[in-house]
Structure 1
Amino acid sequence: MFGYYVDLALRSLRRNKVLTALMVLAIALGIGASMTTLTVLHVLSGDPLPGRSSALYAPQVDPRDMGNYQPHGEPPDRVTWIDGMNLLQAKRANRQALMTGGSVAIQPAQSALNPFYESARYITADFFPMFGVPFQYGHAWGVPEDAASAAVVVISSKLNDKLFGGRDSSGRMLRVEGHALRIIGVLGDWRPNPHFYDLNLKSYGADEGIYLPLSTSQDLHLAHLGGADCWGNGGDGATPSHTAPCVWLQFWVQLNTPAQADAYRQFLIHYSQEQQSLGRFPRSPNVRLRNLMQWLDYEQVVPGDVQLQNWLALGFLLVCLVNTVGLMLAKFLRRSVELGVRRALGASRRALFMQLLVESAVIGLAGGLGGLLLAYLGLWLVRQQPANYAPLAHLDGAMLMMTLVLAVVASLLAGALPAWRACQITPARQLRSH
């Protein structure tokens, strides 16, 4: 029976080509616009580390003075060097990583390459296992290398391709800011977006090419980027010292169970009380412990203009559907004689309703295919924008299926009222009038 309804739908659509084209175009425009913005929103608000994010947390404590104090206000989203090292050495989490970012000069050994700057990440050893960073060659360093400020470095696969043609460079030497560092590992494919672990430098885009121990970066006086928030006599925060009253480091912990998260939250409160008794924390204990996805929401990573565009596109889809309702109503009512004859021959209202809904679904599927092409065009236009998230705007398999499903569901909703109205035709009246 379904195949018969599809055949009737195709015959009907061919008889009214102009009206059919208008309905398909209306749905295609609405679906194309809405799926373009929904895809961008989906990419930007996605989970950067599926399967791990629920166990990763960003601890926050409040070491600031009483200037601009507001009760129950949010603590800083970074930590001081003293607090970062205290929390790191306390080892109250399954894993913990203290880090910051910078930019360093690379002096290639190959004469064909000129020196260049590369984004760098200064981290502690747990960064790699905690975030599940894959390796193409070699391995990461461990806690002993952190303690010894070892002259070691891990590089990205992209930088390895540029410097060594993609070959295993483990054991080779790399000159960074004039210092010789030994390459011990090359990363595999690892590009989490958003750039959750340091949103002060960038939210989206390319990741770092150089990873080296935080302690090594301090001994070598490597440049720190991302600024710092200082108070009192902390200065401008451009190059904070270890004792300066400035927050400038990111700190992440891994807590595998809710019970461990609750215990760590209590630890942060006790730590703040201890620091208050020592005179370091003038304010009452004020802590937060958000997991990765909660952290992204708190930091409002998704740009406001993307959310606005999404609502505008959904509004445009609604307008298109209203227009489609009108076109379908006109089309179905023009077929009142045909429907009246079918009723007189014994077809039930339910059968006619299903026939018209199948016709609506065929229109929706055609509109969905057109909307898919428009969505590809829209995403191509997004990728031409200068925004740092633009290169991520691609339609994946899930969003492709969602496009077609949304088009069919939207057309069914648009066709439900016209189909119901058309099914209320009284057969005898239509047959007498014709």
Structure 2
Amino acid sequence: MLAYYFRLALRSFRRNRVLTALMVIAIALGIGASMTTLTVFHVLSGDPIPHKSDRLFYVQLDPQPMLGYQAGEEPNDQLTRFDAETLLREKRAKHQAMMTGGGVTLEPESSALRPFTTDARYTSADFFPMFDAPFLFGRGWKADQDEGRGRVAVISRTLNQKLFDGADSVGKSLRMDGNTFTVIGVLDTWNPNPHFYDLETGKYGDSEDVFMPFSTAMDLKFGRNGNMDCFGRKNETDETSLNASCTWIQYWVELESASQASDYRAYLDNYSTQQRAAGRFERPNNIRLRNVMAWLDYKQVVPGDVRLQLWLAMGFLLVCLVNTVGLLLAKFLRRSGEIGVRRALGASRAQIFLQSLVEAGTVGLAGGVLGLGLAALGLYAVRQQPVEYAKLATLDGQMLLLTFGLTLVASLLAGFLPALRAMQVAPAIQLKSQ
């Protein structure tokens, strides 16, 4: 029966080509605009590590002096080196990692390559198991290499391809800023977006090419990047030194379960009390412990203009649906005579209703195909924009299914009222008027 109604719908389209084209275009424009903005919102607001984001927590403490204190205000987003190293040493979580971004100059052994700079991450051993970074070759370093200032490095697959033609480079030497390191691991393709573990160096983009022990990078005075907030004494010659009054380090912990957050928060509260007793902290305890998604929400990772564009596109889709409702209503009412004859020949109201919905759904299907093409063009235009998330604007399989799902729902909603009106056509009146 549905196949029969589908054939009737195609015949109807051929008889009313202009009206059908207007409906298809209206739906396509609404779907194209809404799916473009919805796809951008989807890739920007997605969970970068969904299987454990509720067990990964970002730590904030408040080491600042009382000057300028306001009760209830947020503490600094980052930790001092002293606090980060102390928490790391005490190991009160399943995994813990301190980190900051940096940049290094690589000196390739191959004469075909000239020295070049690339992004680096100075971190601790638990970084890799905590964030489930996949390895193509080798492994990460151990905690004793953090403490021993080991000159070891983990590199990205991209850098391994560039320097070693993609071969297993574990054990090979890597010259950085005049110092020789040993490659102990090569990461497989890994590029979590948003760049949640360090939003100070960019919210979206590629992961770093080189990872090395934080202690080693500090000993060698490697350059760092990202924000730094200094307070208190201003006479430190090295703002990255252990006792400098500067916050510039990100600190993450992984707990066994989300329910352990209260215990770890109590530990941080006790730590803050101890530091205040020692004279380092002055303010009342001010602790924040947010999981991944709460941290992304707090940092407002999704740009405000993207949210606004999403609402505007959804409003535009609604306008297109209202127009489609009007066009379908006009089309069905023009066929009142035909519907009356079918009713007189025995078609039930339910059959007329179903036939009308199938016709509306067919219009929606055609509009969805065209809308998908418009969405692809829209996303291509987004990728040409000078914004850091531009290259992420691609239509994946999930959004492709959502496009057709949204199209079907939208077209059926648009066809509901006209179909309801069509099924109420009185056959006797229509037959008398013929």
TM-score (norm 2): 0.98
- Helix, strand or coil: the match of 1:264? helix
- Helix, strand or coil: the match of 1:261? helix
Change (3 A) 1:165 1:340: same
Change (3 A) 1:237 1:337: farther
Inter-partner Cα distance in structure 2 for 1:305 and 1:407: 25
One-letter amino acid of the structure 2 residue matched with residue 344 of structure 1: A
Relative to structure 2, which stretch is displaced further, 215-224 or 71-80? 71-80
One-letter amino acid of the structure 1 residue matched with residue 404 of structure 2: L
One-letter amino acid of the structure 2 residue matched with residue 21 of structure 1: A
Inter-partner Cα distance in structure 2 for 1:307 and 1:81: 36
1:330-359, CA deviations, whole angstroms, 9 ceiling, x for partnerless residues? 101000001111111222211111110111
* Matches for 1:63-78 after TM superposition, within 5 Å: 63-78=63-78
Does the aligned pair in 2 maintain the 1:224–1:239 contact within 8 Å? no
Inter-partner Cα distance in structure 2 for 1:97 and 1:381: 39
Residue 50 of structure 1 and its aligned partner are, at CA, apart by 2.4
Residue 239 of structure 1 and its aligned partner are, at CA, apart by 4.2
Residue 227 of structure 1 and its aligned partner are, at CA, apart by 2.6
Change (3 A) 1:399 1:216: same
Alignment-derived partner of residue 232 in structure 1:
232
Does the aligned pair in 1 maintain the 2:5–2:355 contact within 8 Å? yes
1:22-77, CA deviations, whole angstroms, 9 ceiling, x for partnerless residues? 10010001001100110111011111112121211101111111233221111111
Does the aligned pair in 1 maintain the 2:54–2:258 contact within 8 Å? no
1:159-214, CA deviations, whole angstroms, 9 ceiling, x for partnerless residues? 11111111111111111110111111111111111100100001111110110000
* Matches for 1:372-387 after TM superposition, within 5 Å: 372-387=372-387
Residue 289 of structure 1 and its aligned partner are, at CA, apart by 0.9
Alignment-derived partner of residue 187 in structure 2:
187
Residue 365 of structure 1 and its aligned partner are, at CA, apart by 0.7
* Matches for 1:30-429 after TM superposition, within 5 Å: 30-234=30-234, 239-429=239-429
Residue 226 of structure 1 and its aligned partner are, at CA, apart by 0.5
One-letter amino acid of the structure 2 residue matched with residue 433 of structure 1: S
TM-score (norm 1): 0.98
Inter-partner Cα distance in structure 2 for 1:78 and 1:220: 22
Does the aligned pair in 2 maintain the 1:228–1:238 contact within 8 Å? no
One-letter amino acid of the structure 2 residue matched with residue 175 of structure 1: R
Inter-partner Cα distance in structure 2 for 1:8 and 1:237: 83
Inter-partner Cα distance in structure 2 for 1:237 and 1:330: 79
Alignment-derived partner of residue 25 in structure 1:
25
Inter-partner Cα distance in structure 2 for 1:64 and 1:351: 73
- Helix, strand or coil: the match of 2:212? strand
Residue 235 of structure 1 and its aligned partner are, at CA, apart by 7.2
Inter-partner Cα distance in structure 1 for 2:192 and 2:124: 19
Inter-partner Cα distance in structure 2 for 1:44 and 1:238: 37
Q: CA RMSD in A?
A: 1.4
Residue 236 of structure 1 and its aligned partner are, at CA, apart by 10
Q: Which runs of 5+ in 1 are unaligned?
A: none
One-letter amino acid of the structure 1 residue matched with residue 293 of structure 2: M
- Helix, strand or coil: the match of 2:103? strand
Change (3 A) 1:26 1:238: farther
The alignment-based identity, stated in percent, is 58
Residue 426 of structure 1 and its aligned partner are, at CA, apart by 1.6
Number of residues of Structure 1 aligned to a counterpart in Structure 2: 434
Q: Which runs of 5+ in 2 are unaligned?
A: none
1:349-379, CA deviations, whole angstroms, 9 ceiling, x for partnerless residues? 1111111011111111111111111111111
Residue 408 of structure 1 and its aligned partner are, at CA, apart by 1.0
Does the aligned pair in 1 maintain the 2:81–2:240 contact within 8 Å? no
- Helix, strand or coil: the match of 1:398? helix
1:236-281, CA deviations, whole angstroms, 9 ceiling, x for partnerless residues? 9994332121110000000121332111011111111111122211
- Helix, strand or coil: the match of 2:267? helix
One-letter amino acid of the structure 2 residue matched with residue 153 of structure 1: A
Residue 78 of structure 1 and its aligned partner are, at CA, apart by 0.7
Does the aligned pair in 2 maintain the 1:100–1:250 contact within 8 Å? yes
1:380-419, CA deviations, whole angstroms, 9 ceiling, x for partnerless residues? 1111111111111111111001001101110111111111
Does the aligned pair in 2 maintain the 1:227–1:237 contact within 8 Å? no
- Helix, strand or coil: the match of 1:217? helix
One-letter amino acid of the structure 2 residue matched with residue 56 of structure 1: L
- Helix, strand or coil: the match of 1:112? coil
Inter-partner Cα distance in structure 2 for 1:359 and 1:432: 27
Does the aligned pair in 2 maintain the 1:234–1:240 contact within 8 Å? no
Inter-partner Cα distance in structure 1 for 2:377 and 2:256: 43
Inter-partner Cα distance in structure 1 for 2:52 and 2:337: 62
- Helix, strand or coil: the match of 2:353? helix
